[in-house]
Amino acid sequence: MIKDYEDFKKFVFQTTSIDLNAYKERQMKRRIDTLISRNKFPDYETYSKALKTDKEKLDEFVNYLTINVSEFYRNPNLWRTLENEILPDLISKFGQNLKIWSAACSTGDEPYSLAMVMAKLVPINKVKIYATDIDSQVLEKAQDGVYGANSLSGLPKEYKDKYFEKMGDRYFKISDEIKKCVDFKKANLLKDSYPSNCHLIVCRNVMIYFTEEAKDEIYRKFNRSLVKDGCLFVGNTEQIINHKELGYDFDELFFYRKV
């Protein structure tokens, strides 16, 4: 019997391996209550039963839960810093075969942006981006590589012209040569193992939804995944106040170097 939100959190963990305790409770509970109400279920119990028997409903729930908002080259000034300062420095230290992880990659806008920027700096056959997300639906969309015009609004024209084919009035398809640079996999940041020896980890506009304890744990795991002098690139609302305690030096704004 699922009587309240506490019971529902246990059910979600058992069913999806998503630990809702790691998310800010007031914010997440409000989102879930809105979804339940929109689907015209009276309580957690009846909604849980629907999730058990209806895969479409379960997929919708996970997709809604993981808050997928993304766009190419988001916050262009930070991408210019990455392109002009951070990546050239990493290439000079570690060579052209950088190991790059796009964590919580959503619909693929971010890892494809990384691939295009890297292809400007090194031969494209040396570009390999490892991209992960918890949501199977967004990974399918990422692998399709078709995007609305709004997703590309901040992308520099040179990349748009070179790597996208227009499909009708409103859609663009990314080139196969960039798609081949990105390896998409399903992974849960709170539960699954992390790749090792990364030179760059990009995880942006995701941590704001987690509790402080969950954030610190993920930042520590990112730190262990990086090589010494490797870099973590975070979102423009995600300044890490206790970065020294977590094993980072402050590099440029929103770029943190492992010490």
Distance CA 249, CA 238 (A): 15
Residue 44 pLDDT grade (very low, low, confident, very high; cuts 50, 70, 90):
very high
Lowest mean pLDDT of 112-121, 159-168, 202-211, name the range.
202-211
Distance CA 44, CA 32 (A): 10
CA angle 99, 191, 26 (to 5 degrees): 115
Q: C-alpha distances in angstroms, 143 versus 13, 114, 171, 213, 243?
A: 27, 15, 15, 32, 34
Taking 80 as the threshold, does the pLDDT of residue 131 lie above it? yes
Number of neighbours of residue 246 by Cβ within 10 angstroms: 19
Distance CA 112, CA 31 (A): 29
Taking 90 as the threshold, does the pLDDT of residue 70 lie above it? no
Distance CA 245, CA 231 (A): 16
pLDDT given at position 68: 58
Taking 70 as the threshold, does the pLDDT of residue 67 lie above it? no
Residue 224 pLDDT grade (very low, low, confident, very high; cuts 50, 70, 90):
very high
Q: C-alpha distances in angstroms, 178 versus 25, 142, 154, 192?
A: 38, 12, 18, 27
Question: Which DSSP letter does residue 23 get?
Answer: B
Overall average pLDDT of the 24-40 stretch: 87
Distance CA 229, CA 223 (A): 10
pLDDT given at position 180: 97
pLDDT given at position 79: 94
pLDDT given at position 208: 79
| Amino acid identity, position 103 | A
Overall average pLDDT of the 232-252 stretch: 90
Alpha carbons within 13 A on the beta-carbon side of 31: 16
Overall average pLDDT of the 97-119 stretch: 96
Question: Tokens 């490892």 appear where?
Answer: 130
Residues 6+ away with beta carbon under 8 Å from 36: 43, 44, 47
Please state, for a pLDDT cut of 90, what percent of the chain lies above it: 64
Indicate the helix (H) or strand (E) that contains 172.
strand 171-174
pLDDT given at position 28: 86
Overall average pLDDT of the 18-39 stretch: 86
Q: What is the pLDDT of residues 84-102, one digit of tens each?
A: 999 999 999 999 999 999 9
